[in-house]
Amino acid sequence: MNISHTRNRLAVAVALASTAAFAPMPTSAQEGAVLEEITVTARRRSESLQEVPIAVTAFTGDDLKLRGAADITELAQQAPSVTLEPTRATNTTLTAFIRGIGQQDPLAGFEQGVALYIDDVYLARPQGSLLDIYDVERIEVLRGPQGTLYGRNAVGGAIKYVTRRLSDEPEFSVRASYGEQDQMDLVGTASVPLSDTFRVGGTVASFQRDGFGENLTTGEDQYEKDIFAFRLSAEWEPSEDLLVRFAYDNTQDDTNPVAGHRPYPAVTTNEPVLGDVYDTFAGAEDQPSTAGIGGNNEVEVQGGSLSIDWDVNDRITLRSITAYREDDTDSVIDFDSLPQMDFDAQVIYENEQFSQEFQLLYSDERWNAVVGVYYLDAEAGNDFDVVLGQLVPDVGLTAYTGGQIDTEAWSVFGDVTYDFNEQWSLSVGLRWTDDQRDADVFRASYLGIGSPAFGNDDAILNAVTSDYENDETFDNLAPRINVTYRISEDAQVYAGYSQGWKAGSFDPRGANFDTPEAAEGFDEETLDSFEVGLKADWLDGRLRTNVALFYSEYDDMQIPGSVGVDTDGDGVNDDFVGTVTNAGEAEISGLEVEGNWLITNRLSAQFAYSYLDAEIKEWIFDGQDVSDQREIQNTPENMAFLGLTYVADFYGGTLNMTANWSFKDDIQQFEIAAPDIDQDSYNMYNASVVWLSPEGHWSLGLHGKNLGDEEIRTAGYCFGFQDCPSSLGLENNTTVFFAPPRTWTATVEYTF
């Protein structure tokens, strides 16, 4: 047997394993294949994944690329206790939940329960955060509260998107993908050293696809994709002790508006329930209800960062991360998914943020420590008109909301690990955070289609429902402690406690004229999490299992929502109001298992499982405890994943075949059950075949996803007459959004 060819075949098998935690790689063909040692930076230093005493799943960029992963929502098929979905009526706004902690609403004033980072830069807003996967080194998913190691505190967990470093040698690659619905993706990457110490690089990406369905009113595609993005970077490394890195990225999303499927026919018109859930009758983009934004539906996200790493000596590293980001969104939302203006909205989101982080890292034989200072200055604004076009015949009614929520946050954090000996380690962390929120909110209803804020100067003021400015400061001191015992070189157990915390804020949709407490905002939330885990390699390094058990107490959890209200007492809701509940108490516990088994030198199996027991213990509404009528959102009780990867010789190169199955239990989209938008348990089947040329320059692949063609609900609006908290409009307006159907995609890549 040719040893070098054997190594190549097995190394390629790694690329087909779905996560780095699962990925097999032999260290020596002569000594017997064993699993790869995975390196991550979950604790702000490079170390083996198996040595990190927290629940982490890592995905390498090469693995994801060879599996045909399109965006980060696909990580949730394999990562335990994780739900990642596009926010309703959007293409690139992310809804993320980890271990039952997350955030549904992308409005100003609501910070996410799961922190998302690009190269250690925290993204404060979800718009544009549903990232396409390209130019990525790895993605790490950390489960449980994060705060003593990271710039921004996070209650549920963190997702770290790490882009590739530039090479010392010239590198170029071109990747093209073609699939159903005329999918055409192009990604070009270049990296060039201009001197021994300075190198530049960049990636340009275009993601285009016709729709899975059709808009029968406008003739446009429904669920299409139209994204252009690029990243530029430069690295200056004057010595082995100093690295200065600049990065800039820009994403332009010009995808058509997406509207949900109606499970009920229109009430006052003749539109029936459509047979294809991806089709729609929505016509808001061509109606006066969205004339204020010209019927446009677009998102632009951009940001730049400057990071400096200085190794002062063998023990001390100083790090600075300076970043600025902004995004602008014009959004068409057709709540009724009908040609008429029964319930439409035009929305503008504008967000800016500046962050500065300083870190000091220390490491010697027994001590590892990180101490940091973090500053965030963020402005989040939204303006939207909700148009109820049929309530006042021939005139229309518009509810306008304008809100600006500014955040200024300071944090000091530290985490220290001490190795008593080769078996025992103790980690202790502490974080102090001071968050100031400033709100400026105005809400009013107008007779007419559209408000003066969106250019309708003829609109007649009907009533002002909110008009206030307020500010509030929240502070917190959150601890973390972890004890690790190394059973052997191949196994360790750990036990720990950590606290997650998120500041309170203000709901720009709250009507303080009717409910004065809306101007006072909502309170902070706190999560106390206890976790024990085992990380071990078995069978002489051919089997790896990582197991975590956790229990969390969740106090004052922030639950946003919106309901229709009847302002004139005629029995028909003619306005809406935002609601934010600090639900008194919830308990979330669970079991997470993930691993990989290198069955033979050619065949491997990857597996994952999670069980979540999430229960709301107290929810006071109108003086009554209604916790038995509420559930935690986006948290399936059971999740499972199983994948098989086989590697074979083919035409002088390597043929990699993989197939996987994932299962998600019933998912309730919101705290109150809504059968029309909630998702029953489902199975997902995917498969890929990838051939690599002998020298590794060419890659040819075929990827099939959702091969069972499941219709999977990802989100919805529940303003209809059946099983909804309240109704708006006259047409029984419940609408449902779906994940992609079965797709096939062919890829070709050339690297030189």
List the domain range (segments joined by +) for residue 703: 3-751
Question: Measuring CA to CA, how many Å separate 584 from each of 155, 472, 507?
Answer: 16, 21, 18
131, 344, 347: which is closest to 253 by C-alpha?
131
- Classify 643 in phi/psi space as left (phi over 0), alpha (psi -120 to 50) or beta: beta
Beta-strand pair 114-118/157-163: parallel
Q: How many residues does the chain have?
A: 752
Contacts of 356 (CB under 8 A, 6+ apart): 320, 321, 322, 323, 374, 375
Token pair belonging to 30: 């002569």
pLDDT of residue 52: 79
CA–chain centroid gap for 112, Å, is: 9
Alpha-carbon distance of 464 to 478, in angstroms, equals: 41
Q: Which amino acid is at 545?
A: T
Distance between CA atoms of residues 664 and 77, nearest Å: 8
- Rounded distance, CA 101 to CA 81, Å? 10
CA distance 184 to 177: 6
Q: Which of 537, 428, 529, 427 is nearest to 485 (CA)?
A: 427
3-state secondary structure of 621: strand
SS3 of 360, please? strand
Calculated CA dihedral for residues 648, 649, 653, 654, nearest 10 degrees: 10
3-state helix vs strand vs coil in the chain, percent to 5: 5, 55, 35
Model pLDDT for residues 247-287, shown as the tens digit of each residue: 999 999 999 999 999 999 999 988 999 999 999 999 999 99
Residues of the chain where predicted confidence (pLDDT) is lower than 50: 1-31
CA–CA dist 382, 347 (Å, integer): 7
Task: With residue 662 as reference, give the H or E element that holds it.
Answer: strand 653-664
In a 13 Å sphere around the CA of 587, the CA atoms on its Cβ side amount to 5
Amino acid occupying residue 201? G
Residue 437 buriedness (CB in 10 A; 0-12 / 13-18 / 19+): buried
DSSP designation for 87: P
**Tokens linked to 429:** 């962390």
CA distance 346 to 457: 16
Q: Using CA atoms, how far apart are residues 582 and 555, in angstroms rounded to an integer? A: 8
Dihedral angle, C-alpha 21, 24, 29, 30, nearest 10 °: 50
What is the pLDDT, as a whole number, of residue 39? 66
Phi-psi map region of 448: left, alpha, beta (phi>0 left; psi -120 to 50 alpha): left
The answer to whether the CB of 553 falls within 8 A of the CB of 527 is yes
Our CA dihedral for 241, 430, 379, 581, rounded to 10 degrees, sits at: 150
Angle at CA 487, nearest 5°, toward 486 and 492? 50
For residue 692, report the phi and psi dihedrals to the nearest 5 degrees: -110, 135
Cβ 140 vs Cβ 58: under 8 Å: yes
CB under 8 A, 24+ apart: contacts of 189-195: 189/135, 191/166, 191/167, 193/166, 193/167, 193/168, 193/169
Interatomic CA distance for residues 488 and 570, integer angstroms: 73
CATH no. for residue 122?
Answer: 2.40.170.20
User: In one letter, which amino acid is 63?
Assistant: D
CA angle 118–500–130, rounded 5-degree value: 30
Which two tokens mark 176?
């093209």
Domain total in the chain: 1
Which residues make Cβ contacts (< 8 Å) with residue 219, sequence separation at least 6?
Answer: none
Task: Determine the Cα–Cα distance for residues 275 and 277; give it in Å rounded to an integer.
Answer: 6
> Which value, in Å, is the radius of gyration of the alpha carbons in the chain?
26
Q: Which of 442, 440, 438, 374 is nearest to 406 (CA)?
A: 438
DSSP readout, 681-726? -EEEEEEEEEEE-TTSSEEEEEEEESTT----EEEEEEESSSS-S-
pLDDT per residue as tens digits for the range 486-498: 999 999 999 999 9
Question: What are 18-51's pLDDT values in tens digits?
Answer: 333 444 333 333 345 676 766 666 566 666 677 7
Residue type, 310: W
CA pair distance 689, 596, nearest whole angstrom: 20
